[in-house]
Amino acid sequence: MSTTKLSHLSETLIGSEIVKLGNMISERIRAGEKIYNFTIGDFDPAIFPIPPAFEKLIIESYQAGNTSYPAAEGVLDLRKAVSHFLKEWEGLEYAPNEIQIASGGRPLIYTIFKAIVDKGDKVVYGVPSWNNNHYVHMTDGEHCLVECKVENNFMPTVDDVREHVKGATLICLCTPQNPTGTTLTKHDLTEICDLIIAENASRKEGEKKCYLLFDQMYWTLTYGNTEHYNPIALRPAMKEFTVFVDGISKAFASTGVRVGWSMGPEIVISKMKAILSHLGAWAPMAEQKALAKYLYEKDAIAAYLKHFKSEIELRLHNIYDGFIALKEKGYTVDAVTPQAAIYLTIKIDLVGKTDADGHILSNQADVTSYILSEAKIAVVPFSAFGGAANNPWYRLSVGTCIKEEIPIMLKQLEAALSKLK
């Protein structure tokens, strides 16, 4: 075994648990095993293709020779288009110099952390949530966890945040949320904004402010009566303290196209640009030029979203109904009513039960393994999102779900549950 020492970060950083699990499942599928894979927050292009008009524009953009380096902040045409899109769809006013383009949400989140968080700075985030624990670790911040509860749809409440806002440098919110598929209420978001405004008013001149990282990558994907709210519309004074994360990955099933954007105070955006200029995490030039045209196509976008959302919602509700039916039969499973995104929060509470071979499911890892081996269902435990190891709740993603297979999958799940004592 090698004794070579590397950096403290490389020695202590944990790789993505979700990607690791997804890769393992993909290997088994490639080997011929039939698995219902609900692990990765991605889309099967055969089921959920990108908008045809956007695809055509990308092809034309490559044919036009748009293959050089883009500007570090993103091409001006695209930043103008994003500005127009934000105004038309959300009523948000951001000038091109307040918008930063990058290759999806990940480099934007990382550069927001690097632009704002110093070693030892307090970062407040709820669990379960996507990757906040890793970004805090990568920036040597102080983890300040809010344990979110099922009665609040696993979202942080204003009371949760109130306990920790004093002295905080960054508060991280994601709504609609990955991994839960739930949203912040208008009341809680408004009150959290008021806490941040009051906290910043109490700080001395020259003292670092408390910023809000507001990840709304899934904001177009809400269902039923669910509404998405943003901090600026609720409290205009928050514009000085809010940095958004947004883009096309989930709105247009374009995870591999790699175009995302942040908007926020110009001083923060300019520092993000400087950091990204060294990382080189730019969205490809051809895709930027194509998207700069597509974002003006309001009717085409509306038509695409109507069909896209209906297909996702159908899958979420069919699986939700199946879990509730199993619960009503007496099985120890549950689910949270789907609100948004591509995720369903499910509960599989089987610890302590015994399988047909007499093996006791002694922990949640055993439960996950049992469901995979017996029902051929792969889901991600909330422990992969900062939750406790014994947490019985899971994220189920429908981005690769074939709707005709849902009844078969639920029947296999019931068969696996019925074998336990």
Same domain, 286 and 237: yes
The total domain count for the chain is: 2
pLDDT on residue 22: 77
pLDDT on residue 15: 78
The CATH number covering residue 152 comes to 3.40.640.10
pLDDT on residue 204: 93
| pLDDT tens per residue across span 23-63 | 788 888 888 889 999 998 999 999 999 999 999 999 999 99
Distances (CA, A) of 55 to 45, 160, 290, 398: 12, 43, 8, 23
The average pLDDT across 352-380 equals 94
Single residue among 248, 273, 297 that ends a domain in this structure:
297
Same domain, 235 and 137: yes
pLDDT of 1 strictly over 70? no
Task: DSSP letter for 174, please.
Answer: E
Domain that holds residue 227: 52-297
Same domain, 99 and 158: yes
Same domain, 312 and 182: no
Same domain, 279 and 311: no
Same domain, 377 and 245: no
Q: Is 309 exposed, middle or buried (0-12, 13-18, 19+ CB in 10 A)?
A: middle
Single residue among 297, 328, 357 that ends a domain in this structure:
297
pLDDT of 313 strictly over 90? yes
Average pLDDT for the chain: 95
pLDDT on residue 17: 73
The whole-angstrom separation of Cα 121 and Cα 119 is: 6
Q: Is 84 helix (H, G, I), strand (E, B) or coil?
A: helix
Same domain, 148 and 287: yes
For residue 236, name the pLDDT band (cuts at 50, 70, 90): very high
Radius of gyration of the chain (CA): 22
Same domain, 331 and 346: yes
The pTM score is: 0.95
Same domain, 59 and 16: no
pLDDT of 13 strictly over 90? no
The whole-angstrom separation of Cα 211 and Cα 241 is: 5
Closest CA to 49 of 313, 323, 255, 224: 255
Same domain, 220 and 318: no
The whole-angstrom separation of Cα 298 and Cα 304 is: 10
Q: Tokens 């019931």 correspond to what residue?
A: 414
pLDDT of 288 strictly over 70? yes
Burial 50-70 (b: 16+ CB within 10 A, else e): bbeebbebbeebeeeebeeeb
Same domain, 140 and 253: yes
Residue 3 included in any domain: no
Q: Which amino acid is at 94?
A: Y
> What is the CA angle 211-105-280, rounded to 5?
100
For residue 116, name the pLDDT band (cuts at 50, 70, 90): very high
The average pLDDT across 271-282 equals 96
Same domain, 263 and 325: no
* Bridge partner list, 105: none
pLDDT on residue 394: 97
pLDDT on residue 2: 60
Q: What percent of the chain shows pLDDT beyond 70?
A: 99
Residue 2 included in any domain: no
| pLDDT tens per residue across span 56-96 | 999 999 999 999 999 999 999 999 999 999 999 999 999 99
The CATH number covering residue 326 comes to 3.90.1150.10
